[in-house]
Structure 1
Amino acid sequence: MLCPFLISCTSIKYGKPIDPNATKETVNLYQNLAKISKNHTLFGHQHATEYGRGWLGDEDRSDVKSVTGSHPAVIGVDFSGFSGRPDEVIQNNKANLRKNVVDTYDRGGVTTVAWHFSNPVSEGGFYWRDSISKPAVRYLIPGGEAHETYKEILDGIGDWAKSLKGSDGKLVPMIFRPYHEFDGDWFWWGKKHTSREDFINLWRFTVSYLRDSLEVNNFIYAFSPDNRFLTEEEYLERYPGDEWVDMVGMDNYGDLGRNRNSIDTAALKLKIVSDYAIKKKKLAAFTETGLETIPDTTWWTETLLRSMKKENVRLAYVLVWRNDSKSPTHYYAPFPGQVSVPDFLKFYKDPYTLFEIDLKNIYGK
């Protein structure tokens, strides 16, 4: 058995979460991901166990498991249903997501949380919509007219996070990835709609309020721009500082997509992210990617795997986007009969990739 599967196999010192009061399981997850990423990368899929191709809400099901026999090692979920809706709907969303996250923990898997945060000061949802959306960041930061509203939303997230108890009675750790792809303009928190200073202020307040005021001690905080950088300096343009970030990542569809396939460019960007993480004793991850409908029958091994292996980077996980339950074209992981299944099985069997079935005591010492 390979060393990264054994939690006590090395005395190498790794960094710790930015939360000095992080739970033991959160610290262990952080350090085990660092160890594993020296030789392996966990595979993740957004909303994998909530729904998939032609199904919704089935117990212990995922399209990835239907193909490989194992769930993804990382399950992506979202806080999108935690605000901007009637209270009854919000409470139902929280209950459903609580069960999903606890089930993943009890199986030995890992949860990462995105936040498609519906604009709290205007209509338009989480996307920026001209003539409808307001640039909400400046309203939410300390001194802004919606700051108290924002604190109430965070209070709801904090209470929920502290209610997540596994079958072992422990709080469930999660990787929290707010305000992703902030260097693009499609979300209301995007670069065009807020200043660098206000964005950094929002990030720091969010972490500080959850961690220090609400005492949420089971989050690992992930910073993930889109792929609009070619240097470390460009990558760090809106970085809030090392004391406010546990994991550095990147979302990259464009370099590995249908209209553009540049493995060298994707690998260069992953190296920038990984090198920074190594230098600062942080985690790195390929936080979002994928090819919609996966028409390329060798995309998994010849594009995705090659891009991750090319530069000897250290990545805790790679996550592909969701499989919609109704859309015939919106899916990013294979399901039984999909044309990329044979190649995905090669990807699954490659020693570099880990799935849930491969994880052994990732929350232990």
Structure 2
Amino acid sequence: MKKYSLIFTLILIGGLLSCSSSGDNDTQTDNPDPVTPTDPLTTANARSYMVDANATDETVALFYNLKKLSKTKFAIGQQDAFNGFYQNNTGDSDIKKTTGKDPALLGSDFMFITDKNNNGQPENWFQQQEVKITNDVKQAYSKGMINIFCWHLREPNHEDSFYAADMTADEKATAFKSILPGGNNHEWYKQKLDKVASVFNDLRDNSGKLIPVIFRPFHEFDGNWFWWGAGYCTPEEYKTAFQFTVDYLKNTKGVHNVLYAFSPDNSYSTATNYLSRYPGDGYVDVLGMDNYGDLANQGTAGVTRANNKLKMVCDLATTKVKIAALTETGYRVTASIPPVNGWFATDLYSVLTSQNLSVSFVMFWTNNQDGYYVPTPAASNAADFTVFCLKSKSALLDKLPAMYTLPQ
């Protein structure tokens, strides 16, 4: 599981280019703002701001519509929404159980798909997970939802864990470096990317069109809990790995249905620090941040910190014409950890909207047998979550516009 500023933008044209929206006004439209002459992003030039100039039309539309959506709303989703349930209560997503509406976004993971034990055979458990995950992605797309993948890639020496704590000191010091071009595990990494590419290229709808997805490799890299963390590679090494990943998928493997996300944890509060491992505008479509720590029952101070950090990300996204997102967050409730009063409708909503932010989406982490990030109907904070989802800037699937078609 996961753990975790203000740039003075030079683009301030009539407030339309700032990372802002019109406030929490219930009269605002559910659709993205129409293009105006002062907005740098148009349907005609969207590709010029994207990583992949050869992206499919649906992927271009997703980029454009996510950027425009953020002016009035943010999409709400959850990791493993279709197969991660509190107390293993299967069926509809826990979001739908509580609100009656489908989530707007589905989070998935390549962890099982690229596991060393996935032999591709139908009776293999890991292969079965691959089928389940990819079917969920297809189902989400058929509903009009947004899909996003992370990758808890197991370390290259034994492929047993993605946590640095499970590695020796020497393994931690060398693992990330070893997957870089020229490293002794570079071919191993390319084979893992071959699998990722095959999944992306096989994600198609009923008409055979490729399904667009957001991919955020090497996430939460500013911490030291993963073997790709900041303590185990230099900024230049991190940039090299990220750039190679994008170039290999896009140019070598012909993957053209992906938006690429840069998503550190919450340690960065200034633009300079946030960009210290940034691989460049040519490699990133989504500027994200994962943030659990500032919302771990930290009161008003934590909410303010989280909002300021997210504003920094939004300001960068405005300047660079990228998508801004809270790529992971949540407060896990268990039998021994009670909910925080107003966590959703007051605290998180303030994080996402104070200072007139334009955030495209927010994703909660997965529910499981022993705990939840999204409450089920009987939970004491179910009403809090429902109120959060009903607020004017919140968008479950029923308030999501057509994300895969460019407006005329």
TM range, normalised to the smaller chain?
over 0.9
Q: 1:65 aligns with which of 96, 102, 106?
A: 96
Query: After the TM superposition, which residues 12-31 of structure 1 pair with which residues of structure 2 at under 5 Å, given as runs?
Result: 12-14=39-41, 15-16=46-47, 17-31=50-64
1:1-365 to 2 correspondences below 5 Å = 3=29, 5=31, 9-11=34-36, 12-14=39-41, 15-16=46-47, 17-55=50-88, 58=91, 61-86=92-117, 87=119, 88=121, 89=124, 90-122=126-158, 124-129=160-165, 131-132=167-168, 133-134=171-172, 135-259=174-298, 262-293=302-333, 295-324=339-368, 326-327=369-370, 330-365=371-406
- For residues 220 and 160 of structure 1, the distance between their equivalents in structure 2, rounded to whole angstroms, comes to 15
Q: For residue 136 of structure 1, give the secondary structure of its aligned residue in structure 2.
A: helix
Gaps of 5+ in 2: 1-26
TM-score (norm 2): 0.84
Distance 1:20 1:94 in 2: 29
264-273 or 162-171, which moves further after superposition? 162-171
* Distance in 2 separating the partners of 1:319 and 1:104: 15
Q: Following the alignment from structure 2 to structure 1, what is the Cα–Cα distance between the partners of residues 193 and 87?
A: 34
Cα deviation digits, residues 224-253 of structure 1 (max 9, x gap): 111112210011111111111111011111
Distance 1:165 1:57, change over 3 A: farther
Q: Deviations over 1:138-159 (max 9, x none)?
A: 1111000111111111111111
Q: How far off its partner does 1:180 sit? A: 0.7
Let me know the Cα RMSD of the aligned residues.
1.8
Tell whether the 8 Å contact from 1:50 to 1:56 is kept in structure 2 after alignment: no
Indicate if the aligned counterparts of 1:52 and 1:63 stay in contact, CA closer than 8 A.
yes
Q: Which whole-Å deviations, capped at 9, do the CAs of 1:198-240 have from their partners, x for residues lacking one?
A: 1111000000000111010011000011111221001111111
Q: Deviations over 1:99-120 (max 9, x none)?
A: 1000000001011111111112
Matched pairs, number: 359
Deviation of the 1:91 alpha carbon: 3.0
1:57: how far off?
6.0
Q: Any conservation in 1 of the 2:32–2:71 contact (CA below 8 Å)?
A: no
What 5-or-longer segments of structure 1 have no aligned partner? none
Deviations 1:21-56 (A, max 9, x none): 100000000000011101111111111111211237
What's the CA shift string for 1:107-136, capped at 9, x where partnerless? 010111111111122355011025534442
Could you list the runs of 4 or more consecutive aligned residues of structure 1 that deviate by over 6 angstroms after TM superposition?
none
Q: Secondary structure at the match of 1:302?
A: helix
Higher RCO, Cα 8 Å, sep 6+: 2
Query: Mean alpha-carbon deviation: is it higher for 81-90 or for 70-79?
Result: 81-90
Whole-angstrom CA distance in 1 between matches of 2:246 and 2:150: 14
Counterpart contact for 1:297–1:339, Cα < 8 Å:
no
Amino acid paired to 2:66: L
Deviation at 1:260, TM superposition (A): 5.7
Seen in structure 2, the aligned counterparts of structure 1 residues 6 and 258 have a Cα distance that, compared at 3 Å, is: closer
After TM superposition, give the deviation of residue 93 of structure 1 in Å. Answer: 2.5
Deviation at 1:83, TM superposition (A): 2.2
Instruction: Give the AA of the match of 2:353.
Output: K
Q: Percent identity over the alignment?
A: 36
- In structure 2, relative to structure 1, the CA distance for the partners of 1:85 and 1:56 (3 Å cut) is farther
Query: Displacement, 1:335?
Result: 0.5
